[in-house]
Amino acid sequence: MEITAQLVKELRERSGAGMMECKKALTQNNGDIEAAIEWLRKQGLAKADKKADRVAAEGRIVLGHDGGKAVLVEINCETDFVGKDTSFLAFANEVAQVALTSGAPDVRELLDMVWPGGGSVDQARQTLVAKIGENIQVRRMVRVDSANKVGAYVHGGRIGVLVELKGGSADFARNVAMHIAAMNPPHISPAHVPAEIVAKEREIALAQVSEKDKAKPAEILEKITSGKVNKVISEMTLTGQPFVLDTNVTVEAALKKEGAEVLAMYRLAVGEGIEKKEEDFHAEVMKQAGLA
């Protein structure tokens, strides 16, 4: 069967693959477009497997949000350039919507969910790997499904936050999410700080006490060390930090004014915890040129 330009064009539009790959797929399958699509998918699986070990520490944090239901998903690629690619962004945003509507509790189940247009989320990922040529991974997701207020905020596609509030307004919940994005508090309140961290801070505070203060009565020494510990613990909690939208008050004071309480918070940042490979581009060029 003759492989016409129109047939190649149709396969490109349906598969998203490159022109030469589409022509090869049609040639291999005697012009049968359905068989060519299946062939491309199989090739995509092979290419995706080959790229799976390459470090993917760039990408996007994407959000799906509808009232008290919200998800954040981290989708990684290898380069910042691909992280801004329209095909990658379209894939990432669609993943967020599938995550939101499917109710998938984690990435493993999300990858098995049905992709709009057929196949699974993971198959769509593999197809995109074949098209773009980089390792692409759906790495993490967090979900909140609540009858309470859920604030959501994504900053520049790099940092995403979900926060669940009992009481308060939707606007205030989003403002608290913005604060968490900016200040990255490890804990909600002093009550949420693990006992071992408090004990370690007390040990440090005691080591910092001057010889003069050590000679003071036990109750005075306790007040001194407790003051130091409370200050440090307060700084590492959401409620103890100055509110970024009004630094004259703490988040705790802002919450009280709104009649709100933070029940849970989640913050994802692109690539956190991934060891990035440092590239020496000069050495790479010299190697390619046979000069190294």
Query: Which residues have C-beta within 8 Å of that of residue 180, sequence separation ≥ 6?
Result: 153, 161, 163, 238, 265, 267
Given a cut of 60, whether residue 217 has pLDDT beyond it is yes
Query: What pLDDT, in 10s, does the model give residues 162-213?
Result: 999 999 999 999 999 999 999 999 999 999 999 998 888 888 877 777 766 6
Query: What pLDDT, in 10s, does the model give residues 247-267?
Result: 999 999 999 999 999 999 999
With bands split at pLDDT 50, 70 and 90, how would you rate the model's confidence at 235? confident
CA distances in angstroms from 283 to 55, 254, 292, listed in the order given: 19, 54, 7
The residue with greater pLDDT, 63 or 51, is: 63
What average pLDDT does the structure give for the chain?
Answer: 86
With bands split at pLDDT 50, 70 and 90, how would you rate the model's confidence at 53? low
CA distances in angstroms from 127 to 11, 91, 106, listed in the order given: 14, 11, 21
- Measured from the Cβ of residue 25, the count of other Cβ atoms closer than 10 Å reads 25
**Closest C-alpha among 187, 169, 180, 185 to residue 255:** 169
Q: How many residues does the chain have?
A: 292
Place of tokens 């095909």: 87
Judged on CB neighbours under 10 Å (0-12, 13-18, 19+), 116 is exposed
Query: Per CATH, which fold does 5-51 belong to?
Result: Helicase, Ruva Protein; domain 3 (1.10.8)
* pTM of the shown model: 0.73
Whole-number pLDDT of residue 49: 47
Domain extent listing, the chain = 5-51, 54-145
With bands split at pLDDT 50, 70 and 90, how would you rate the model's confidence at 233? confident
Given a cut of 90, whether residue 277 has pLDDT beyond it is no
Whole-number pLDDT of residue 9: 84
CA distance 236 to 1: 69
Average pLDDT over residues 103-128: 93
Given a cut of 80, whether residue 23 has pLDDT beyond it is yes
Q: State the chain's maximal CA–CA distance in angstroms.
A: 97
Whole-number pLDDT of residue 45: 45
- CATH number of this structure's domain 54-145, picked from the four choices 3.40.225.10, 2.160.10.10, 3.30.479.20, 3.40.50.300: 3.30.479.20
The least confident of 18-32, 71-85, 104-118 is 18-32
Three-state secondary structure string covering 96-130 = HHHHHHHCCCCHHHHHHCECCCCCEHHHHHHHHHH
